Each structure stands twice: as C-alpha cells, then as structure tokens.
C-alpha cells in the first residue's frame, strides 16, 4: 500500500529523475510493485506447468497467461493499470488524463479531430447519441489513458 501511495504521488509530480524527488520515488515504487506482480506471474506459470489445464486459476492473470498474446511487459502494465483503475475514482483518472493532455497539444488536436469527425457523421445520419460502433472507431481516444 505504501508503495502504491508513493507511486501515485509521483504520477502528478514534475518528471525530475533525480534521487529524492517524488518522481524518482514513484519510479522506484513502480518497479517494486511490478516486481511483486512479476513474482506472482512466475509462480502462476510454474503452477500452470505442473497442473493440468482444468485447474487453472479463474482470474485475469490466469486468462492473460493462457489465452492472450500479450508480452510479459504488456501483462504487467495491464495489471498495474487495473490496480490504478480499481483504486482510484473515475474523477481522478479523468483529472490525470486532462493534466497530461495539457502538455501534449498534438494529442489534443488528434482527439478533437477524431471526435468532430464522429459527430459530423452522426449529424449526417440524424443521430445524437454515441453508438458502440462510434466508440469502436475512436482508435486514438482508446489509446489515451493515464497509464
């Protein structure tokens, strides 16, 4: 828990990679958290190799290891993102997204263009609500997230 709190403090700090800064501490905490997840992943892989597939764990880690084509690093990032999503509120996630987007005008321009194009198509179709098809077309938007 302490590592996670340290990590979160560094997420919104200035990205100064010097010993003692909040960002530096956050990087160390992130590495510690990922180390814990990685050890759990290795234990799970050993367990899966020893047992038959009918006894696999029924959770996201088990599924990702068995059925996805994600790399080890991608699985670690996914699980860390889900820890964040499960712990922080949507308002915190949105605030962080806005905070980081402020420093990236190219991303804001791309997001705006993508959303305006979807809105234009909706207007031509006489629709006013987003559909699942509209959401699936938001390729760039889906890439913009706090972690």
* Neighbouring C-beta atoms of residue 13, cutoff 10 Å: 14
- Residue 45 has a pLDDT of 87
Counting beta carbons within 10 angstroms of the beta carbon of residue 17, is it exposed (0 to 12), middle (13 to 18) or buried (19 or more)? exposed
b/e code 84-100 from CB counts within 10 Å (16+ = b): beeeeeeeeeeebeeee
- Residue 56 has a pLDDT of 57
- Residue 4 has a pLDDT of 77
Predicted confidence pLDDT, tens digits, the chain (147 residues): 778 778 877 777 778 788 888 888 989 998 999 999 999 999 988 888 886 655 556 788 888 888 888 898 999 988 888 887 776 677 777 777 787 788 889 989 999 999 999 999 988 988 888 888 888 888 888 887 554
- Residue 35 has a pLDDT of 93
Enumerate the domain spans of the chain.
1-87, 90-147
Q: Which long-range contacts (CB under 8 A, 24 or more apart) does 39-46 make?
A: 41/65, 41/72, 41/75, 41/76
């Amino acid at each position: 828990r302490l590592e996670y709190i340290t990590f979160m403090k560094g997420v919104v700090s200035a990205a100064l990679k010097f010993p003692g800064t909040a960002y530096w501490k956050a990087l160390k905490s992130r590495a510690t958290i990922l180390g814990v997840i990685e050890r759990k992943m290795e234990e799970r892989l050993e367990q899966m190799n020893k047992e038959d597939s009918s006894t696999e764990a029924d959770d996201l880690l088990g599924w990702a290891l068995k059925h996805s084509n994600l790399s080890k690093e991608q699985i670690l990032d996914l699980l860390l993102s889900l820890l964040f999503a499960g712990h922080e509120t949507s308002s915190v996630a949105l605030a962080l997204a806005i905070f980081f987007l402020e420093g990236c005008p190219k991303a804001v321009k791309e997001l705006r263009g993508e959303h305006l194009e979807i809105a234009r198509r909706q207007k031509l179709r006489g629709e006013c609500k987003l559909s699942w098809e509209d959401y699936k077309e938001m390729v760039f938007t889906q890439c913009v997230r706090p972690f």
